[in-house]
Amino acid sequence: MKLPIMPKIQDLIRMYGLSAKQQLSQNFLLDLNITDKICREAGGFKDCTVIEVGAGPGGLTRSLLTAGAKKVIAVEMDRRFIPALRMLEEASEGRLSVVMGDMMKVDEGELLRHFQAEKMPWEEKSKVKIVGNLPFNVGTHLMLKWVRQIKPREGLYAYGRVPMVLMFQKELAERIIAPVDSHNYGRLAVMVGQECHSKIIYDLPGKVFVPPPKVDASVIHIEPLVEPIGQVDSKEHLEFICRSLFNHRRKTISNALKPMGKGSEGLLGDIDPSRRPQSLTFKEFADITNRYTAWPDKKQMDYSEFTNDAGAIREATKKEKRSQKKQQRIDELQKEREQFEKLDKKEQQKYLHQLDVESQPGYQLGEKLKLQEEMDGLDDMSTREMETLHRNLTTSVLTDQTLQKDLDKIFNQQNLENQEDEENDKDDDESEEIKDDESEDEDEEDEDDDKDFEDYEDFEEDEDTIVKKK
């Protein structure tokens, strides 16, 4: 289905002054010949409802519409691209809908329900597909989010065996499809391969992107199996077992399991304990996982990081810590105020004088000692001398009214500093989370975890955004 004549993608980029943001790992694919070929290699999209992740300026979006997609739902979190996508939306005759939102927070099931996507039996081909040129920094997280929805058949997979056509860094794509006992075989290969069939359908050199990344990319096709390879009682436990074993891929599996506690050798069953983790098949990983789930002596652990609610849980925990810290500071300030109000006027003047001196730039230990000498001398001052001294500091005569005004100013300043501390703490928490992810990648040689993970900027949803987080 041909679209009306429209400006080239390059012209739209110039028209709206668009550019790729490095912090969002954006790289544009502008050649429509390449995006058209991706659609053909993916098996076509005729009469399908397609969720496109990160539509950007709309290059792949045009190819999806041209390929005959019944409905394209373009999810984009960068509001700079919305005007260009709206232009394409108007030309699509209702076949394109643009949604402003962060795909990590989108409820895919609610999205498909809103656009009346067709549900299909699990044994038949799905009429829903999800496509995306995923940013390298969050591609793994998004894919795992969807893989975790397969077993409970929720979200995307409430609509059947929805195929994923995703563009990754080539090295990551090779890890996802890696066969057993290969160098790239690891956690991602097990998590995907146990329930899905995956294959690389197209390789793209970095030079076809704008701006060109330093690495090549691959398009990978992932489709759930009708029956998984080995039934797993807990997908969270499978991911935990994979991480625990592949963290020690040079050890034998018996030694890799020892940190789990006494009796962990029983998890192997009839599997040779001298084998290495990368030699275990999908079925053997499933068997070890089921034994671990039924193991009564396993350590109590938090498996929330292996669920799709992990981000929400972390955010709620941070929010609770910030709230507790804020309340603690408020209590301290209230206590200081109450203690101040109990002082007589002369002691209050001494307190204000001390705060005023300590707040000056360059206040050091020597000045503190000098202040102590001044404070000792204040006890011998008359009230008139005290007021004269404070007038020199505050440039006004200190009365009960001005005293209260100065006091309120001091406490207001402390509150502002407290707010700044909260913002700095939030930045530190985010920085610490990124460092933790990077440290984990360094410790896990050949592990399939993400190499880079950065938080997104938060965007307000537009009025016509229909995405709601359950």
| Integer Cα distance of 73 and 51 in angstroms | 5
Q: Does the global pTM surpass 0.75?
A: no
CATH number, span 9-224: 3.40.50.150
Domain with CATH 3.40.50.150 in the chain: 9-224
**49-53 and 71-76 strand pairing:** parallel
Element containing residue 221 per DSSP (H, E): strand 217-224
What does each C-alpha distance from 170 to 123, 183, 217, 309 come to in angstroms?
31, 15, 4, 28
Q: Give ranges for CATH 1.10.8.100 in the chain.
A: 235-306
CA angle 318, 320, 325 (to 5 degrees): 95
Angle among Cα 402, 408, 413 to the nearest 5 degrees reads 130
Count of beta carbons in the 10 Å neighbourhood of residue 416: 10
Query: Angle 138-140-143 (CA atoms, 0-180°, nearest 5)?
Result: 110
Residue 439 has what pLDDT?
41
pLDDT value, residue 126 = 95
- Are 148 and 109 contacting, i.e. CB atoms less than 8 angstroms apart? no
Q: What is the pLDDT of residue 373?
A: 54
Assigned token pair, 30: 């502008």
Query: Torsions phi, psi of 2, nearest 5?
Result: -80, 145
φ and ψ at residue 448, rounded to 5 degrees? -90, 15
In b/e form, how buried is each residue of 178-196, taking b as 16+ CB within 10 angstroms?
Answer: beeeeebbbbbbbbbbbbb
Q: Residue ranges for the binding site for S-adenosyl-L-methionine?
A: 27, 29, 54, 76, 102, 133
Q: What is the pLDDT along the chain (470 residues), one digit of tens a residue?
A: 667 677 788 888 888 777 777 666 678 888 999 999 999 999 889 999 999 998 988 999 999 999 999 999 999 988 888 998 999 999 998 999 999 999 988 999 999 999 999 999 999 999 999 999 887 678 888 999 999 999 999 999 999 999 999 999 999 999 999 999 999 999 999 999 999 999 999 999 999 988 888 889 999 999 999 999 999 988 889 999 999 999 998 999 999 999 888 888 899 999 999 999 999 999 999 999 999 999 988 877 767 676 766 565 566 667 778 888 888 877 787 787 788 778 887 787 777 777 665 555 554 445 544 555 555 555 555 555 555 555 554 443 344 445 455 555 555 655 555 565 555 555 555 444 444 444 444 444 444 444 333 333 333 344 344 333 33
pLDDT for 173 equals: 94
Condensed to tens digits (0 to 9), the pLDDT of residues 253-298 reads 999 999 888 888 899 999 999 999 999 999 999 999 999 999 988 8
128-133 and 164-169: which strand pairing? parallel
Supply the pLDDT for residue 72. Answer: 96
DSSP letters, 438-455, are HHHHHHSTT--S-S---P
> Which residues belong to the annotated binding site?
27, 29, 54, 76, 102, 133
Longest dimension (CA), the chain: 95
- Supply the angle between the helices 32-41 and 59-66 in degrees, to the nearest 10: 50
d(Cα 157, Cα 148) in Å, to the nearest integer?
10
- The count of C-alpha atoms lying within 13 angstroms of the C-alpha of 96, restricted to the half-sphere facing its C-beta, is 28
Instruction: Kindly report whether the peptide bond that precedes residue 211 is cis, defined as omega within 30 degrees of 0.
Output: yes
3-state helix, strand, coil in the chain (%, to 5): 50, 10, 40
pLDDT value at residue 262? 84
Residue 56: what residue type?
G
**Superfamily grouping for domain 235-306:** rRNA adenine dimethylase, C-terminal domain (1.10.8.100)
Give Cα 198 to chain centroid, integer Å: 25
User: Quick one: which of 136, 45, 125, 11 has its CA closest to 451?
Assistant: 136
Hey, which bits of 243-373 come out as E strands? none
Rg (CA), the chain: 30
Q: How far apart are the C-alpha atoms of 383 and 387, rounded to whole Å? A: 6
